[in-house]
Structure 1
Amino acid sequence: MKRAIMIVTALAAGLLLAGCLQINTTISVNKDGSGTIDQKFLMKSDMMAMMSGLSSMGQDNQGDSAQSDNGFSLFDKQQLEKDAAKMGNDVRLVSAEPLKTDFGEGYHAVYAFKDVTRIQINQNPGDNLPSQMQQGGSETASQTPDYVRFGFRAGSPSVLTITFPEPQKQQGNGTADSTANQKMSEQDLAMIMQFYQDMRITTDVVFNGSIVSTNASYRTGNRVTLLDFQFNKLLDNPEFKKQLMEGKSEQMSNFQNLGKMFPGMMIETKPTVEVRFR
């Protein structure tokens, strides 16, 4: 099981434990470059129950996450205020509240910024996990920031540029002993498929105006989708399962690679996207 978890860590940067998560991030941009970041973060109910069990046994760090009646909660306003600083010096927390759905529990947070060029959005969902759920204290692949950055020029039309990070190279010595080259058994694969079921991570940019032109791959009205990663769409893909079992996770080490390999996913694969709007 440990080997399977290590393979999943390499599957997509920052996806460790993301199988139990749904994360929706919407960045709204005004014509003057100001805007908001709306984020909904949910963890599956069974994972919440497991974390509550650990909490009740005194194995969690109370400084890392808020405590609910069940012993564990992802909603921690002080931590969300710290998360605002990670997004940029110009970002501030406007509102935050606990969130509960049929999928699970988490929070809904809204941040505001005055200058979009001063914000950065981390693609790695592991960065949003409470620290006691991350892999130790060192900076592992699942914790390495993978920032999307923005450029802006006001005018008529205004121009927003979105720059994606370069694909991360898989660490290792390239030998048969490296994590990326370890093969997965049928049992490991079945466990991973079950664990990642219903995982969904989305990132959208909404323009408060009308889009004049864009080279974005996915646009609907005034909305550009940068990422809509639904793991369920991969569950029946034989090529995806084959590459997992053959230990070729280094070929799937980031979202953009997944978008190129499996076109059914809504994942922007251009290194830079430009949107003209007014």
Structure 2
Amino acid sequence: MKMLRRMAAVVTCVAFLGGCFQVETKVRVNPDGSGTVEERVLMNDKVIRQIDEMSKAFAGPDAKPEPFTLHDRKELQKRAGALGEGVAFVSSREISSNGYTGYRAVYSFRDINTLRLSQEGPKKPGDSSGEQATGGGEPFLFRFTPGKEARLVVIPPRSEPPGRKEKKPQSGAVPEGEEGKPALTPQQEREAMEMVKGMRFSLVVEVNGTVLSSNATHRDGSRVTLFEFDLDRMGDDPEKLRRLKELDPTDFAGAKEMVKAFPGIKAELNDRIEIVFSR
């Protein structure tokens, strides 16, 4: 459930700061603990054209700015080392799909115990924080035990620092940090939803073998979905995004019912996900 609330906050921020993204991450794990990370990051072509037009406008009449692209091979190579010890850049290429353009990057790792993946994914254009490696935020951690029956444990990021309990606002109170922020009009909300149409995020773990047992909420054969957010499948109702953001992470029953109510959402409801598999 904590993941649901974090996911809603991340999606809201990216939606309004970075344009319309599709970010898909797949972790493939072998029985010896090695494997690969595949990332597909795409941006709406309309947004890319707007960025190019703005670059030309600010560059001056004689300047010829380079066309905007998400595919920056040097930055992707830098990202490899910070994803964890022993992680290596394998390849990358520009890709296009259904009005979106971006890149597909592949990394390899020798030991998944050292892999660190942020829920927020790679750094987005315009983010000057320098945290290209993890995209900011706490990472997913992995604990692997090899053997005839290999055991993988996935530990999602916490929603708050250790030892700190989240304060719930009293009924009718304005949430902390929201003071002074004007509410959006219905028209502004509709325009905002139109801007982020097509947004999709997902993180999947796929083991190379037969799953013998798992407590994963969303499993299809050897594939486990840790989270998936498909805004198109949620419809055009801004109220749904608000309800996700206001989700109480301690309300297990409420979280489960909310996931059922949103067809575009899959979220892991366990604090630790265990997968036991063999070749």
What band does the TM-score fall into relative to the shorter chain? 0.7 to 0.9
Question: How many matched pairs?
Answer: 248
Deviation at residue 27 of structure 1 after TM alignment: 0.4
Match of 2:120 in 1: 124
Q: Map 1:156-171 onto structure 2 (within 5 A).
A: 156-168=148-160
Q: Deviations over 1:3-41 (max 9, x none)?
A: xxxxxx995126433451111111000000000001111
Match of 2:231 in 1: 231
Distance 1:116 1:91, change over 3 A: same
Q: Map 1:90-101 onto structure 2 (within 5 A).
A: 90-101=86-97
Residues 37, 110 of structure 1: 8 Å contact kept: yes
Q: Deviations over 1:58-102 (max 9, x none)?
A: 46xxxxxxxx99611111110001111231122111011111122
Q: Map 1:9-158 onto structure 2 (within 5 A).
A: 11-13=8-10, 15-18=12-15, 20-58=20-58, 71-125=67-121, 127-130=122-125, 133-134=126-127, 137=129, 144-158=136-150
Deviation at residue 249 of structure 1 after TM alignment: 3.7
Residues 10, 250 of structure 1: 8 Å contact kept: no
RMSD: 3.4
Q: Map 1:242-253 onto structure 2 (within 5 A).
A: 243=242, 249-251=245-247
| Paired residue secondary structure (1:262) | helix
Structure 1 stretches of 5 or more lacking a match? Answer: 1-8, 60-67
Match of 2:194 in 1: 194
Residues 259, 267 of structure 2: 8 Å contact kept: no
Q: Which one-letter code corresponds to 1:274 in the other structure?
A: E
Structure-2-length-normalised TM-score:
0.77
Distance 1:258 1:58, change over 3 A: farther
Residues 216, 268 of structure 1: 8 Å contact kept: yes
Deviation at residue 252 of structure 1 after TM alignment: 8.0
Q: Distance in 2 between matches of 1:102 and 1:261?
A: 30
Counterpart check, 1:209 vs 2:201: no
Q: Which one-letter code corresponds to 2:113 in the other structure?
A: T
Distance 1:259 1:194, change over 3 A: farther
Residues 73, 92 of structure 2: 8 Å contact kept: yes
Q: Distance in 1 between matches of 2:108 and 2:69?
A: 24
Q: Which one-letter code corresponds to 1:116 in the other structure?
A: I
Q: Distance in 1 between matches of 2:65 and 2:130?
A: 31
Q: Map 1:176-195 onto structure 2 (within 5 A).
A: 178-179=177-178, 183-195=183-195
Distance 1:235 1:268, change over 3 A: same
| Paired residue secondary structure (1:16) | helix
Q: Distance in 1 between matches of 2:255 and 2:95?
A: 30
Stretch deviating more after TM superposition (143-152 or 97-106): 143-152
Q: Calculate percent identity across the aligned residue pairs.
A: 27
Q: Which one-letter code corresponds to 2:97 in the other structure?
A: T
Residues 24, 39 of structure 1: 8 Å contact kept: yes
Q: Distance in 2 between matches of 1:220 and 1:231?
A: 22
Q: Distance in 2 between matches of 1:258 and 1:183?
A: 25
Q: Which one-letter code corresponds to 1:35 in the other structure?
A: G
Q: Which one-letter code corresponds to 2:71 in the other structure?
A: F
Deviation at residue 119 of structure 1 after TM alignment: 0.4
Distance 1:49 1:70, change over 3 A: farther
Q: Which one-letter code corresponds to 1:128 in the other structure?
A: K
